[in-house]
Amino acid sequence: MSVDNLFEDAFQLLKQMIAIPSFSKEEDKTADLIQAFLIERGITPHRKGNNLWVFNKYFDSQKPTILLNSHHDTVKPNKGYTKDPFSPEVSDGKLFGLGSNDAGGCLVSLIATFRHFYDRQDLKYNFVLAATAEEENSGKGGLESIIPDLGECNFAIVGEPTQMHLAVAEKGLMVLDCHAKGKAGHAARDEGDNAIYKALNDIHWFKDYQFEKVSPTLGPIKMSVTVISTGTHQHNVVPDLCSFVVDVRVTDCYTNEEVLEVINQHVECEVVPRSIRLKPSSIPMDHPIVKYGISLGRNTYGSPTTSDQSLLNIPSLKCGPGDSARSHTADEFIYVDEIREGIEMYIKLLEGIN
């Protein structure tokens, strides 16, 4: 099938996806749409929840397998929208609509790419396509829930908007709930042990501490205190509890467990990670697909944002049409030409690696 036909199918599919609300955990209708799209084209996917996956027609267990993955859930539209987020509108070469850029354009381009390779018998690799849910809320009912069903994969392309440049590393994420404990007392008297003051020492540590190792692609680990609250809202009560939340962006120089150990060595408050499953990742610069992508004029960089790449334990590359700067913005859009170029570049990348 020609790239023109693949593009036209992908473009129409993306418009249909935009028209269907698909917030995280509520993606059943877009899963239905993608499932029907594939079946109508002679490809019957597997399904678990709102996740779909399918293997190439001549899958050979003796060959290595490449995973092509992106997500079809979206965040909720922010209040700045001037257009209907669920009305796909084409204007000035742009397709507007919620999820058009993050990550609908990537997903439909990967579906088109998979279709290009689907019934080829001369492939050096197997392909498995996974259209997954719950990426935007890091839910456990998304890619993570079907990894065992995908079999042994040797490499992955994770579709996220990178302008088709190569994100060769990605920061992991830990969200920490921290609790400083004191003793309640009356504010008018010299009594109690103010938990806020105890928390402040640890908050300053999070602000100022620098981890020794700095990633050449991702830079330093970044820790940000983002929420703070006390156990009381009365002005005349010395609080016995002060809780705060820390957003920790972990680089490929450390594991989440190592970072957590360092934190616990330095702070007095109780530290409870919500999860340590969103790991940092990187791919060697001498990996064949990285080298070939560079030869095609693609830039390499480290991504500060987290994606489903953090759930994979195999070499992976984050790459896709669109621009991360447009993600989660009002009047989100993707250039129509970016979809065509995404399909063409994905195919070139995958045909060119040895």
3-state secondary structure of 65: strand
328/22 Cα distance (integer angstroms): 14
Tokens of 118: 């689907």
3-state secondary structure of 174: strand
Among 158, 136, 148, 140, which Cα is nearest to 74's? 136
Tokens of 243: 């809780």
pLDDT in tens, 82-102: 999 999 999 999 999 999 999
Task: Spell out the long-range contacts of 223-230 with Cβ–Cβ below 8 A and sequence spacing 24 or more.
Answer: 223/247, 223/248, 223/249, 228/199, 228/203, 230/195, 230/196
Among 347, 340, 273, which Cα is nearest to 105's? 340
Q: Where are the beta strands (DSSP E) in the chain?
A: 46-48, 51-55, 65-71, 89-91, 94-96, 126-132, 155-158, 166-170, 172-181, 185-186, 222-230, 237-238, 241-250, 270-273, 281-282, 300-303, 316-318, 333-335
Among 143, 101, 197, 164, which Cα is nearest to 347's? 164
**Beta partners for residue 246, in sequence order:** 176, 225
Ranges of the chain whose pLDDT falls below 70: 354
| The predicted structure's pLDDT at residue 87 | 98
User: Could you tell me whether strands 155-158 and 65-71 are parallel, antiparallel, or unpaired per DSSP bridges?
Assistant: parallel
147/312 Cα distance (integer angstroms): 8
* Tokens 């690696």 found at: 353
Cis peptide bond upstream of 103, omega within 30? yes
| The predicted structure's pLDDT at residue 165 | 98
Alpha carbon distances (Å) from 289 to 137, 320, 343, 350? 29, 14, 16, 8
* Tokens 């680089």 found at: 251
| The predicted structure's pLDDT at residue 354 | 64
3-state secondary structure of 246: strand
